[in-house]
Every structure is written in structure tokens, then in C-alpha cells.
Amino acid sequence: MERVKGVRAVWQTRRHVNASSLEALRRQAWDMFDHGFSSYMKHAFPKDNLLPVSCGGQDWQGGLGLTLVDSLDMLLLLNRRGDVVAALEQLRSVLSFDKDVKVHVFETTIRVLGGLLSGHMLLADDPGLAPGYDGLLLRLAGDLGDRLLAAFDTPSGLPGGHVHLQKGLLPGENISCTACAGTLLLEFGLLSRLTGRPRYEDAARHAARVLYGQRSGLGLVGSGFHVFSQQWSHRDSTIGPGSDSYYEYLLKAYLMFGEPEYLSMFSELYVATMRHMQVPGQLGASSSAFLLDVHMDSGRLLKPWVSSLGAFWPAMQVLAGQHEAAARLHANFTAAWATWGWLPELFGADLGAVHPEEPGYNLRPEHIESTWYLKAVSGDPTGYYTGLAASMMEVLGHSRTACGYAPIRDVSTGAHTDLMESYFLSETVKYLYLSFVDSGPLLDHYLLSTEGHLMPAFGHASDPPSIEEGLPQQQQQQQQQQQEGAGQDDEDGAGAEEQDEAYQDGDQEGDWEKGLCEVRGTAEEAGCEARLHAALPLLPVRRVYSRRIRYRRCVACLHTTEALLAKPPDSLAVRLARLNFGEDPSSSSSSSSSKQSSSSSKQSSSSPAKQPELQPAGSSVLAQVLCVLKVYKSGRVSCQTIRRLTALDNAVGLAPGTLLLQLTALQPEPAAAASVLLTSFETDDGPVVMPLAAAEASFGPRLPQLPDSCVDVLLTQRPQASLLALPCPPWPPGEPPAYLRRPLRYAVDGGKRRAVLQQQQREVGRAGAVGLVVMNTAPPGELLTMSGDETGRSPDIPAVLLGGEDSRALLWWLEHRPMVGALAALQDGSGQAQQMQAGKDKQQQQKKTKKQGQQQQQQTRVDLFVPGRSQAWLTEHVVKAGINAQRIFEQVVRDPAVVAALQQAAAGRP
């Protein structure tokens, strides 16, 4: 816990940086890389990853020396020429792709293929960096590229998720992710340009086009697909895991290759994402600007969690000229860092909770990356973003071990886990180091891949002629050589004149980066090159790269801004309706079950649920708080987080493992209607009437009042077969109406404890039933789970839930005697209710009367609700572990911290 206190203390004050402290920060970042890299080479190479706690290595993709390959360009940025030469010799002796292993296509492409290609480009641009370099890295990249290309051997042309390096695509590789197929454009495109073999770029371009062509009517894409049928397997639209870098690579592919098609694809997906996935600001400042997962077809919010992987989005927005939007979203992720000390893998959009299954920080670079991008365009070398980078580096210092840097297993404990992924050196430390040197001009000279590898920009027919004019003679010769080996497709050259005019017209945004669309003079270009050379002495600097990237960034800014203006956001009402409820907002609600004297436990049937509907009749809600449960290895279950309910929770529902507790003030009111199942059984002594109290489901039609005539019929009916009816209207003497003669069918499920109630209501309704009675036959203490199916369709028949004791009694009667029954809502104190109570046992009646008297004397009560999403979670993590769920409920409602939080909320105290 000392580590937790230490990192949280970092965020208590704003870090200020000046010119004198900048050099010390740069040195700290250099030392951070040195410790991690040296530890890897000593304890892990040629294995893929370092184990920083146990001081060993781990093969992840078959032993490809992954961390070394991933770090090649970082060695050049840090002026470690000797390490570059040594790395070449080590790779020459140990690296081979002729291995009997299966590798992940996406991860191997961005880390290994990208590392080889970036390293080769930098060494080829400046032969003096490694005298005698013979193209080793490009040869290795070509061999690997051919082996990875086998993954595209599918009917759709979409690559499988894995490929065997010797055998190619293996059977069963049918599911892959959007990012896995769409994040190959830069590496495969660069390989084609360097080798003159277009097949790599063609395959990657085709995959990106197929994914784009499968977008929904809202313009959104899913996160997973079937490789052979090219149909979506996962229809959640997200900027997090599964999709993240697909968006990024469409933009960067345009910036790198200049093909307008990529920019058009990016801008349409970007606008659709911003319009349908961004949380409206009216739901609270802490959640505003976050982009949450939605269903690609309906736009309905699927979960209230934010993935830390989405923190790359502001960096991408900077490249597209959307600086203000980038700063707003970046501020939200910074607030998450400050809230928990580290940036958790998955956290609540209102910054109220960490996801119980993803509570750690894996040394990820995305937020640090966005911090550097914003710092680069701010023009302030010692300003806010530099100080923020310094704070994050100080936090990372708490991950240092004797043999590297260890991720954080849980941000609430600060415990380490034993794995240092290669991206820590290739990205996380890289963006920290760049934040402490004068690296702003790098933004225009190189593209950085999703793994942080430096890549150049290639010429395209749509580029204005001015880009190639006035270059130093040496750079003109190098540019001509590069173009001769490109083998590029100039098919999309239309529109060059219009783009050139926009470029010359100047900056249309008037945004952070003044003059983005202005042409720099020769002296200004030389000044930027000198700054970059001083900051990164070994980095080759080519003016033509800068001109291409800067021009395309201007075009991307104009194109994206125009696309946003052409599709303004919907009204708040429309956005909230779509985000909250999807197809049918009116059908999503909650149902409840058993009540207790001082507390009540209720189960919410569908998700999301609007919390005001949880107010019991005859009461008023004073306060509501949430308890996020955590199950410990010892079997103990407690509230890991207790926080207040927010507007965002009302909009998207509550996450798995979350309980809702509310403080209710009881108020005397007129007698409320009660739901009952009124039954009549034939015995040797005549009909016997048995009223059974029931909890009515809040979806489906309401139960009507029970008329006197129906009671009379039930009291005198001599059933020959079991029947169930709705309250019966008066009828002429003679045979009862047809619906009263429908046979009652019932089944007992002794194994499953989970029922999708709305689905069952619809099924039995279609079969001709007039109502559904759910009988709880679970032993006392076990959890009966009911949930809605979240389709937004309301059933046509009513449903009620019986308690365990009444359920067992009813089952006994059904097995021995015919029954006539009616579902109804009774008015307490009515003649029918009094008539029904006549057969009740006096002792039970006395206990009930005493219990009701005690409840009336109480001024407040704590109610507990189990949301639909939490029911399955409780079954999986609590009930299956042999833990008594009812005891957990009782502990939670009596938890002093819960009670105190409710009282503070009711009193209006923070």
C-alpha cells in the first residue's frame, strides 16, 4: 500500500518543468530505457519478453527476439550507435522465421515486421550509422512478410488471426478482430515499397476495404468478424480492444502513401464514431468526451466502461487537426490517472470504479503517446504536457525492479506482475523521452506506427508539385531512388489541384498549430531540421518527408472538419434515446423479488434500468449508492468501491458485479394493490382456496383488479384439470368462458438457476397462455436469477414470482390435485382480500401483523437491488464458488460504510 500512497501523492500537485530540469528528465528517461533494455538482453534475449520480477525470459511468438527487434529505432533515437551495430550481429546469428510455431498475425506484424522495416529504412537513409550494413533487416522482413501473407489465404481475403510460420493458415482460424485485419497497411505497404513487390500492400488494402464495406447504417464497424464469410461476429463498435488501431491506420496510411481513398474511409468512420459513441456532456463533466462502446446497428450503449487502449484517440485527432477535441478527451484520461494513481486497463466512465476483472496497469503507452502529440503541437517545451509526462514517468518509477519494469496487477494494491511487454521500450519510454527533448518537428518528418516505429512518407500523384521543388541536391537524388523502387499505384490522383489550392490558402482551423496549412520557407524548414538533428543526432532528416506529411495533415484537417460540419450531431433527446434504450426505450425496466424487514433484496430484470423506477410504493427514495463487489481468494466478498449513482449509470446501466443500494423513507399511504395468485383446489371436503403472495414483473401488462364474481367462481369451482386464468369477468349462468378452461402446464427445472424472463413470457404467450408464474424452488440462501433479454420488446402477458415456501406448496398441490387459479392485483382491505385471508393460520397472521407494525415505526430502510448484468456475475463468481449469496446481501446492507455513504448522500454532503 505504500506504493499506492506514493503514486497518488504524485498527482496531488501539478508538476512544473523549466529549462534546467528538462535535462534531468531527459536523462531519467534515458536511464529508464537503459535499465529495461539491458535487463532484457542479459536475462531474456533471444526470448520474446522479459520477466522483470523473476529475472528470466518468456517466449510469446515463438522466440523471435521480439523486444530487441521492437526497440531497434529507439536505439537510434537514444544515440546508442554501438548497440545498433551489436543488435545487427545478434539478429544475424539467431533470428530465423523457419520455425514450427504459430504466431499472431497482428502482433507479429506491428512488432517484428514493423521493427525490421523501420530499422532498415533508418540505416539505409544514412549508411554512416552502421558502416557495412548489407540490408539484413529487409531480407528478414521479406521472409517474414511471405510467411504472414499466408494468413490472407481465405475466400474473403481477410486474414486469419494466427498463421503457422511453416505450414501457413491452419484449420479453425475463422474468427479475427477488426484491428487485426485493418492494422497491416503501414507495414505491408512499406514492405511493398521497399521490395517492389505489390502483393503485400494489395492484401492489406483489400482487407481494409472489406471491413469498411461492412459498416452499418450508422457508419460504424464491429470489433470481430468471421474470416471466411466476412460477416461480423462481434457487433460492438469500440475504439478499444478489437478495433482501435484500424481507425489510426486509415489516417496514417493516407499520411504515409497519399492515397485519398484512405482519407475518405477514415473521415467517414471518424465522424460516425464521434456522433454515435461520444458521451453527451449533459451526463456529467467527468464522463463528457469519453467514447463508449455501442451496438454498431442501433447505436445503443453496451457498457459504461472505458478501455485505456482508447487513450490513443487524442494522438490520432492531433494528426487530423482536431486539437481541441483531442485536448478534451486527453483531459479525461488524465483525470483517470490522477484518480487511481495509475491508468487502469478498464474503468468506469464516471471515474467511480475500476473494472473488477481488469484492475491493473500494464505499462501501456497510449496516454503518454497522446501527451507527446499534444505537447508537440502546443509549441511549449516546458508547459503543461511536459509536466504531465514528468508526473507519469515518476509514477512508472514505482514499477522498477532489479531486472526491469513490472506492470501493476491491481491499482488498489500496487502489486507487481511478472511480465514486461516489448512495447514498454518501443513506445512507453520512447514517448517519455521525446517529451523531454525538442522533438516537435518529428511530427512532420516521420509517421509513428501503432507500435511507435518511425516510417517515412512516400510520394503520390495527388501531391502538389511544390513538394518536390527546391530540395537540396542530395535529397533529390535519394528521393528519385526511393520512387524508382516504390511500384506504387497512382490510380487515385484526382483532386490534386483542389488540394494544392487548399494548401496554399492557409490555415482554415485557426487552431493550436498556427499555420498548419501554410507553406514554410526554406529558412524555416532548415531551422526545424536543425532542431530535430540537435535533439536526435542519429536520426536521418529528409525535407521531402516533412513536406509530404505536413501537406497531407493540412488536407486531413480540412477534410475531417468539413465532414464533421456536414453531419452535425443529433439533438440531445435523440442521442440519449439511442444511447439509453436502443430499439424501444419504454420496455427497459426492473423487477423485484423478496423483501426483508430492515432491508430488502431485489433483482432487476433487464439492463440498462432507469433507477427512478426502483422506488417502492408508499415510500420515497432519499439516496442511492453503488457497491462494486470483489471476491477474494479466501472466499470473502465485500464492496471494493462504494460510490454515488450518477446520470451516466442511469443512461447505460450498471456493470457486472455492481449492487444498487438505496435509502428509502417510508411514508403512510393508502393501501396499495398487492399481486396474488389466487388458487382453488378440490379436496374431499370441497374446494379450498389458497392465496399466494407474488412479486409482479415490471415488464409486460399490469395485473387488473380481481372482481367479486371471480372470487365466487373460484370458491365454488370443482376443477377436473388444472387451469390458470386472468381475473374473470361476470358471465351468464352456465359454462365458464373458454380462457378459463385452458390447461395449466408447468415444468420444474432443478438444474438451471437462470431464466430470461421476458423471453419466456413471450414464448408461452405465443403458445396461448394468459400468464406466467415463476416458482422459486431453490434451497434457502441460493440465488434465483431472472433477467430481461435486452431486445426492447415487451411481453404480451403478465408474469409473477412466488417465494420459495409458496412455490413448494403450490408444486405439492399441483402434483396431487387439480387447480383453478387466477392472477390478480388486490386492494388491501377489500372484501376479496379479507375473504382470502380467512383461511390463514392465526399464528402466522399474528407474526405478520407484528412485523408490519415494526416496519411502520421505522422511518428509513435500506433496499438492495441486483441489476440484471450482476445476476450472471454473481452466479459465476459467488454461487458457483459455494458462497451464500443471501449472506452477501445481508452483509452489504448492514455494512457501516454503505450506511454512512447513504446517509451522507441523503444529507447532501460530498
Choose the catalytic residue: 48, 73, 83, 107: 107
Q: What is the DSSP string of 356-395?
A: TTS--B----HHHHHHHHHHHHHT-TTSHHHHHHHHHHHH
Q: Which of 118, 113, 80 is nearest to 95 (CA)?
A: 113
| Residue 828 annotated among the catalytic residues of the structure | no
| Residue 366 annotated among the catalytic residues of the structure | yes
Choose the catalytic residue: 70, 83, 244, 293: 244
Q: CA of 103: how far to CAs of 64, 74, 97, 150, 205, in Å?
A: 10, 24, 10, 12, 21
Choose the catalytic residue: 187, 236, 248, 345: 345
Separation of alpha carbons 711 and 636, rounded Å: 50
Looking at beta carbons, which pairs linking 905-908 to residues 24 or more positions away fall under 8 Å?
905/622, 905/623, 905/624, 905/625, 905/644, 905/663, 906/622, 906/623, 906/663
Return the DSSP state at 643: E
Q: Which of 148, 157, 149 is nearest to 227 (CA)?
A: 157
Choose the catalytic residue: 366, 418, 444, 696: 366
Q: Which of 901, 496, 852 is nearest to 672 (CA)?
A: 852
Q: CA of 263: how far to CAs of 241, 466, 498, 518, in Å?
A: 22, 21, 15, 20
Contact present, 425 and 396 (Cβ < 8 Å): no
Return the SS3 of 495.
coil
Separation of alpha carbons 673 and 171, rounded Å: 61
Number of neighbours of residue 357 by Cβ within 10 angstroms: 11
Number of neighbours of residue 193 by Cβ within 10 angstroms: 24
Residues found in the chain: 910
Separation of alpha carbons 142 and 132, rounded Å: 20
| Residue 187 annotated among the catalytic residues of the structure | no
- Identify residue 378 by its one-letter amino acid code: S
Q: 75 burial class (0-12, 13-18, 19+ CB within 10 angstroms)?
A: buried
| Residue 107 annotated among the catalytic residues of the structure | yes
Using CA of residue 867, residue 872, residue 878, residue 884, what is the dihedral sign? Answer: positive
- Torsion angle, alpha carbons of 895, 900, 901, 902, to 10: 90
C-alpha cell at 817: 390435485
- Residues that are catalytic: 107, 244, 345, 366
